[in-house]
Amino acid sequence: MRGLSRPFLDALKSGPLLERVHADATLDLQIRDEYVNVYYRGGNLLRWAPSGGAFDAKYARGQTLELPASRDLAGWVAAFPRLKELIDLFPKNNDEREVQQQIVRANNYGSVARPTDYFVCDIEYAGEHGRFDLVLVEWSGKVRKRTTGHRLVLCELKHGQGSMTGSAGLQAHMRQADRFCSEPARVEALKVEMMLLFNQKRELGILDCAKDLEGFSDAKPRFLILVANDNPRSSVKWREIQAALPLEHVEPVIGGGLGGALYRGLVTFPAFPP
């Protein structure tokens, strides 16, 4: 289960890593199981745990790096500029992950986060409760004072047309989400986990909401399909979505808008063109 212990959470709150994340809009801190990942342009810049830190060696491309001592958090933060450069120059940066990070920033702590209708509880969720690109809570600005009764949203993010078909395409993900949501105990366990992540992110100041999340609604989860750099002339997206319908346990919806900020007015119901 993802989440941080109280001692580790308190150490983060008073340390240089969180200060840097707050000051640097290119960074995104995500909570894992008693460690955090700090992402830059979708790449894992730093994994930080109570036992120390690590940088993803693939970005070095065989170079020998002089890295800080594992437990030297201030040293890791000071090394961010040169570690960022390695990610900048990496030839196979993941466009989808970079868009994912932009969505988190826009809806959780960016300049337009407060009026959006969604908060991102987690990204790249993979566990016993399923696999999803993003897990969100639909929390309309019109009912921001209400801390319970908000819809759970599971999200599949695609970049362009090439990733929409095949074994990891839209049909497969829609059906997987429907199977997952057919088991109420798994859905409830995911909700508990997402509430913990939401509230710990809020405590760390990386989620701009005035109140803790205290409960989800009993309504069936929505399955949000986001496609970045979508070609509006292509019928692939609609063909793949329609081929997966009907779904019994999730409500499929399409998100629109290229900036990442999600508003109900940009979500179409039902999930196919008129």
Q: Is 248 left (phi over 0), alpha (psi -120 to 50) or beta?
A: alpha
State phi, psi for 123 to the nearest 5 degrees.
Answer: -130, 155
> Per-residue pLDDT tens for 101-116?
999 999 999 988 888 8
Pair (211, 253) in one structural domain: yes
Indicate whether 31 belongs to any domain: yes
Residue 32 CA: distances (Å) to CA of 3, 4, 196, 198 = 6, 7, 11, 12
The single-letter code of the amino acid at 3 is: G
Pair (16, 67) in one structural domain: yes
- At 231 the pLDDT is 79
Q: Is 257 left (phi over 0), alpha (psi -120 to 50) or beta?
A: left
Indicate whether 159 belongs to any domain: yes
User: Degrees (nearest 5) of the Cα angle 18, 134, 27?
Assistant: 25
Indicate whether 274 belongs to any domain: no
Indicate whether 250 belongs to any domain: yes
- Of the two residues 50 and 257, the one the predictor is more confident about is 50
Indicate whether 1 belongs to any domain: no
CA 95 to chain centre: 14
Pair (133, 250) in one structural domain: yes
- At 257 the pLDDT is 64
Lowest pLDDT segment from 40-44, 109-113, 159-163, 204-208: 159-163
Q: 173: which 2 tokens?
A: 């993900």
Indicate whether 273 belongs to any domain: no
Q: What is the dihedral of CA 243, 263, 98, 76, to 10 degrees?
A: -140
Print the domain residue range for 124: 95-268
Of the three residues 88, 111, 133, the one that is the final residue of a domain is 88
Indicate whether 128 belongs to any domain: yes
Alpha carbons 139 and 212: distance in angstroms, whole number: 12
Work out the average pLDDT over 118-136. 91
Of the three residues 37, 58, 88, the one that is the final residue of a domain is 88
> Per-residue pLDDT tens for 196-233?
999 999 999 999 999 999 999 999 999 999 988 887 77
Of the three residues 88, 120, 143, the one that is the final residue of a domain is 88
Pair (18, 47) in one structural domain: yes
- At 183 the pLDDT is 95
Indicate whether 143 belongs to any domain: yes
Burial call 34-51: b when 16+ CB within 10 Å, e when fewer: ebbbbbbbbbbbbebeee
Edge-first strand order for the sheet with 130-138 is: 118-127, 130-138, 151-159, 222-228, 251-255, 267-268
Alpha carbons 100 and 103: distance in angstroms, whole number: 5
Task: With beta carbons less than 8 A apart as the criterion, state whether 93 and 100 touch.
Answer: no
Pair (82, 67) in one structural domain: yes
Alpha carbons 219 and 15: distance in angstroms, whole number: 40
> Per-residue pLDDT tens for 14-38?
999 999 999 999 999 999 999 999 9
On the question of pLDDT at 274 being above 60, the answer is no
Pair (217, 120) in one structural domain: yes
Alpha carbons 256 and 268: distance in angstroms, whole number: 8
Lowest pLDDT segment from 53-57, 181-185, 235-239: 235-239
The count of domains in the chain is 2
Pair (70, 102) in one structural domain: no
> In the structure, what pLDDT confidence band is assigned to residue 170 with cuts at 50, 70 and 90?
very high
Q: Is 3 helix (H, G, I), strand (E, B) or coil?
A: strand
Residues listed for the chain: 274
Pair (73, 124) in one structural domain: no
Q: 248: which 2 tokens?
A: 């019994």
